[in-house]
Structure 1
Amino acid sequence: MTDSPAPRIPPDPKEQPILDKLLAIRHNLELLKQDRSTYVKSQDVIELYNQVIEQVVILNGIRTTKRLEQNRVDTVLDDCFQLISLSFLTIGRNHEPPAVYAFVSTTKRLLDHLKEATYYSPKDLESIGARLQDCRRYIARGKDSHSPHLLTLLESRIEACEQRLAELELSHSHLTSDLVPKYDKLVSILRSLSACNTRTKFPNAEVDDYLEQLKAVAEELKPYGIVPYESTGSKEEKLAEMAEKLKLSMEHPEPAPEAKTLIETLLQRCFVWCALTKKKQGYIAPAFKETYDKLLEIRNKLEKLSLTHAWSLRETDLYTYQRQLDRVDESRVDGNFVDTLGRPAELYEQRTLLYLLRKSYATIYHLIISSEPVSEALLPIYNQLTTLKKCLIEVKKNGGVSSPRELYPYSMKLNSIDNMRMDGKFMIGSDIPEGQGSVTQLLEECFELAYDLRNDAEDSTSEEKSGGSESGAEGQT
């Protein structure tokens, strides 16, 4: 059993049969997830999805006068929807409403953490905004084929994400175009320093390099009247500093107060964090070492998955990591990690643990959005074609081939994949897995690249022969 959020007993006895049914469905979904002897089949997922929707309809009928109630039924229902959603990604039905659920849940967590962190890159928000628009399109497309109960739930969750996203965008609205790159650089340094705290061996030289980068950014910000700390010199020195600021501000208009405060505070935080990082050298207080080790293990496993996901990731595997992270996240008190006696963590432990938590959620987010709309059953073929396409593109970039014979290994592999089709479809037993269009399109692109390379090689060979013939004729003359 995974680390689901703490359960609560349903107060209404009428909901007990629903809870029992949902627990059974969740169990079956977990068995489906864990079974590596075969790929996840669409019909199995759809059957369990329909069973969940049946229970939602019954539950809504019972809660006509208490829509906002939350108890253990809701917790298990969330587990079921999360597993169903990840299963839809696994079978390649990424662009249908059920697949949206896992993305929206992770996105909401990520947005909440960005707001809590205060400092984040505008690029973080651009990706999320675009994906939320995609989710709305998937919901609109699935209105005739999916339960309105699910669609209503998804729309309300997307709306909550969009509201939070708008708040975060507003916080950055005062940054001018010339200040955004400098702000991004500071955010990157802040995150990189936190990453240094999680290394097996503390990278002193790397932290020193970040300090130099900070100083360079601080110099670039001086013309805008932005400094990381107040001067502590004499009265004459302070007057000279003010005069210098006045002179520079004539060259660079001072930014809006909100933007100035935002960047100035971030710059100061980076210097303080750099000094604290150097002092602590990766040491975590014993009271928080267990939490640190757990989060570090999750982060490392997810990063490994992000490197090999095309070949080894089954999207339903993310459920276990999501629930473990949720459990840690929900154990915080007023935003703080606390020890067994309820005492909050010191600044260093607090920020380091939050970095690991947020980094893990961000990695799950990227793994979800990078999931291909291809069934797990077809992924081996899809991945082979993706690799072949990259190889052919590289060959073309580097001048092509000197002889059509050099393309023989590629052609042989493409033909062997093409011969796997039956009546134009890639079959697994008697099943026709999802993602036929994506795999077929990729195969055609590979054939087209190989065809172009072959033509170029033949043309080049013909020109060489023609040139050789002309030279021979001139010699005879």
Structure 2
Amino acid sequence: MDSPAVPVPRDPQEQPILERLLRTRDALLLLKRDKSSYIKSRDVIPLYETVIQEVEQLHAVREGQDPRQPHNRLDYVLDDCFQLISLLFLTVGKNNEAPAVYSLATTVKRLLDHLEEAGFYSSKDLSSITKTLADMRQTLERGRQAYSPALLKLLESRIQQCEWHLESLQKGLSILAPELAPTHETLVSILRSTSAVNTRSKFSPSEVTSLRKQLEKIQGSLKDGQFIGADGAPLQGQDSLKALLERCWRWTEIVLEREGQISEGFQEQYERLVEIRNQLDRLSVTQAWSLRETDLFEFQRKLDRIDEARVNGNFVSPDGQQADLHAQRTLLYLIRRSYAYIYALLISSEPVSEALLPVYNQLQTLRRCLLEVKESGGVSNSRELYPYSMKLNSIDNMRVDGKFYVGSDIPEGQGSINALLAECYDIAWELRASVDEEDERS
């Protein structure tokens, strides 16, 4: 799990902290891997408190030192511990607690780094991250009184870095005239779609050709090589847009030439990244029923190690050769796409313990079905509501004194499930009331 290039701590006072954190990380990994029963809050909290104690000792040891010193093995193990604790908090349904923020903050930082490196991104990318960072800030503020200042300081620093980075990227888009925004979105989409075709198991030249036709249409909208506004004047920010258009032409051309075949020296890295991307893609489809948030840890670490192995931003083959443009862009696309999947899975995690997820998912499905019935015109008689009412009653009967128990435990997420159950009852009542009104009229 650790990179062999990471140095050990130089300060002898850090060594015992590292050894204790290694044992804690092992305990966290064992908890993550145990699928024999659901993870409980009482299993996670003591391990969180142990890590916080070590962080406070580490702060005392490093007091007065230059914070810009390179990270050693202790820092990487500590990061592993916080990542695991964060994902465990999500797994037990404590999504709105401060420790749960850590993994998401780390993933957002990776995404922003890659967006900046890629040099192209859409306003939709940034708007989602803007909302996520605002939500993370709220979670942090709620935890001011409940959590260690050491944790809050760490999270504050992570979020602040992301906010500064986001602001820089937003400035990059602000130079575009509003009339150019749709064209910019289209070009970003074309670049990503071309990369997606390039990494499929079966290459499709016709899809790339179709994307080039979109480029021809955009190219044809230029007048004397300029994007012109309604007033006949050249639009602001078009130099960056024309550069992006040229990049699209070049990339589609390269992809058509290579037909999805990557350089031999980078085949192994390519296959590893394709497998990670495909596994995350499958998880995103079946998330509600199969995702245990702690499973994302292995994906994060695999991606981090591949990403960090680059030399000056370049991928290097086992024999020391730098990647050509096609291999470089292909591998970077796969890493970025995988981080984007992890981000999407994290922000869509529900504040419900995995122990109650089966019930929560059933209610989500029931709610969707009831809404579809309502939107399609309702029911013709109350008998059509019997299957929904029976399912609602069977779930309601699982409660004891208004709570869902698993054994003697009361898992997290009671409020979310009770709210969803009440909403389902309300929709069913509305459907039944509309049938009764129809009967009275007739």
1:48 aligns with 2:47: yes
Please state how far the C-alpha of 1:344 moved relative to its aligned partner: 1.1
Question: What does residue 301 of structure 1 align with?
Answer: 279
Count of residue correspondences: 440
Question: Mean alpha-carbon deviation: is it higher for 387-396 or for 168-177?
Answer: 168-177
Question: What does residue 205 of structure 1 align with?
Answer: 206
Question: What does residue 10 of structure 1 align with?
Answer: 9
Question: What does residue 169 of structure 2 align with?
Answer: 168
Contact 1:3–1:320 (CA<8 Å) still a contact in 2? no
CA–CA separation in structure 2 for the residues paired with 1:164 and 1:299: 25
1:255 to 235, 256, 260: 235
Please state how far the C-alpha of 1:342 moved relative to its aligned partner: 2.2
CA–CA separation in structure 1 for the residues paired with 2:174 and 2:29: 44
2:379 counterpart SS class:
coil
CA, structure 1 residues 108+250, in 2 after alignment: closer, same or farther (shift >3 Å)?
closer
Question: What does residue 103 of structure 1 align with?
Answer: 104
CA, structure 1 residues 181+321, in 2 after alignment: closer, same or farther (shift >3 Å)?
same
Please state how far the C-alpha of 1:422 moved relative to its aligned partner: 0.7
Question: What does residue 312 of structure 2 align with?
Answer: 334
CA–CA separation in structure 2 for the residues paired with 1:313 and 1:224: 50
Q: Deviations over 1:244-279 (max 9, x none)?
A: xxxx678432123xx122101000010111111111
Please state how far the C-alpha of 1:219 moved relative to its aligned partner: 2.1
CA–CA separation in structure 2 for the residues paired with 1:61 and 1:299: 41
> Where in structure 2 are the equivalents of 1:382-397 lying within 5 Å?
382-397=360-375
Give the counterpart letter for 1:423 in structure 2: D
Contact 2:360–2:417 (CA<8 Å) still a contact in 1? yes
1:13 counterpart SS class:
coil
> Where in structure 2 are the equivalents of 1:39-438 lying within 5 Å?
39-66=38-65, 68=67, 69=69, 70-222=71-223, 225-226=226-227, 251-256=231-236, 259-438=237-416
Please state how far the C-alpha of 1:323 moved relative to its aligned partner: 0.4
CA, structure 1 residues 6+385, in 2 after alignment: closer, same or farther (shift >3 Å)?
farther
2:137 counterpart SS class:
helix
Contact 2:2–2:76 (CA<8 Å) still a contact in 1? no
Question: What does residue 235 of structure 1 align with?
Answer: none
CA–CA separation in structure 2 for the residues paired with 1:222 and 1:340: 48
Contact 2:88–2:294 (CA<8 Å) still a contact in 1? yes
CA, structure 1 residues 375+67, in 2 after alignment: closer, same or farther (shift >3 Å)?
farther
Contact 1:5–1:327 (CA<8 Å) still a contact in 2? no
CA, structure 1 residues 5+413, in 2 after alignment: closer, same or farther (shift >3 Å)?
farther
Instruction: Report the TM-score, using the length of structure 1 for normalisation.
Output: 0.90
Instruction: Report the TM-score, using the length of structure 2 for normalisation.
Output: 0.97
CA–CA separation in structure 2 for the residues paired with 1:191 and 1:183: 13
Please state how far the C-alpha of 1:4 moved relative to its aligned partner: 6.0
Contact 1:193–1:207 (CA<8 Å) still a contact in 2? yes
CA RMSD in angstroms comes to 1.4
CA, structure 1 residues 221+377, in 2 after alignment: closer, same or farther (shift >3 Å)?
farther
Contact 1:5–1:326 (CA<8 Å) still a contact in 2? no
CA, structure 1 residues 180+221, in 2 after alignment: closer, same or farther (shift >3 Å)?
farther
Q: Deviations over 1:327-356 (max 9, x none)?
A: 000011111111123221111111111100
Contact 2:229–2:235 (CA<8 Å) still a contact in 1? no
Please state how far the C-alpha of 1:221 moved relative to its aligned partner: 4.0
CA–CA separation in structure 2 for the residues paired with 1:120 and 1:139: 28
CA–CA separation in structure 1 for the residues paired with 2:2 and 2:96: 28
1:158 counterpart SS class:
helix
CA, structure 1 residues 457+60, in 2 after alignment: closer, same or farther (shift >3 Å)?
same
CA–CA separation in structure 2 for the residues paired with 1:3 and 1:431: 36
Please state how far the C-alpha of 1:22 moved relative to its aligned partner: 0.6
1:310 counterpart SS class:
helix
CA, structure 1 residues 308+4, in 2 after alignment: closer, same or farther (shift >3 Å)?
farther
CA–CA separation in structure 2 for the residues paired with 1:200 and 1:302: 16
CA–CA separation in structure 1 for the residues paired with 2:298 and 2:232: 51
2:178 counterpart SS class:
coil
CA, structure 1 residues 367+37, in 2 after alignment: closer, same or farther (shift >3 Å)?
same
Unaligned runs of 5+ in 1: 227-247, 465-477
CA–CA separation in structure 2 for the residues paired with 1:269 and 1:455: 59
Please state how far the C-alpha of 1:222 moved relative to its aligned partner: 3.6
1:31 aligns with 2:14: no
Q: Deviations over 1:174-203 (max 9, x none)?
A: 111110010000000000000001111111
Give the counterpart letter for 2:219 in structure 1: A
2:306 counterpart SS class:
helix
Question: What does residue 467 of structure 1 align with?
Answer: none
Give the counterpart letter for 2:57 in structure 1: I
2:13 counterpart SS class:
helix
Please state how far the C-alpha of 1:461 moved relative to its aligned partner: 2.8
1:178 counterpart SS class:
helix
1:458 to 431, 436, 439: 436
1:54 counterpart SS class:
helix
Greater C-alpha Rg:
1
Contact 1:49–1:84 (CA<8 Å) still a contact in 2? yes
Q: Deviations over 1:102-121 (max 9, x none)?
A: 01000001000000001100
CA–CA separation in structure 1 for the residues paired with 2:275 and 2:261: 17
Please state how far the C-alpha of 1:8 moved relative to its aligned partner: 2.2
Please state how far the C-alpha of 1:129 moved relative to its aligned partner: 1.1
Contact 1:306–1:367 (CA<8 Å) still a contact in 2? yes
CA–CA separation in structure 1 for the residues paired with 2:396 and 2:35: 27
Give the counterpart letter for 2:145 in structure 1: D
Q: Deviations over 1:152-180 (max 9, x none)?
A: 01111111111111110111111111100
Unaligned runs of 5+ in 2: none
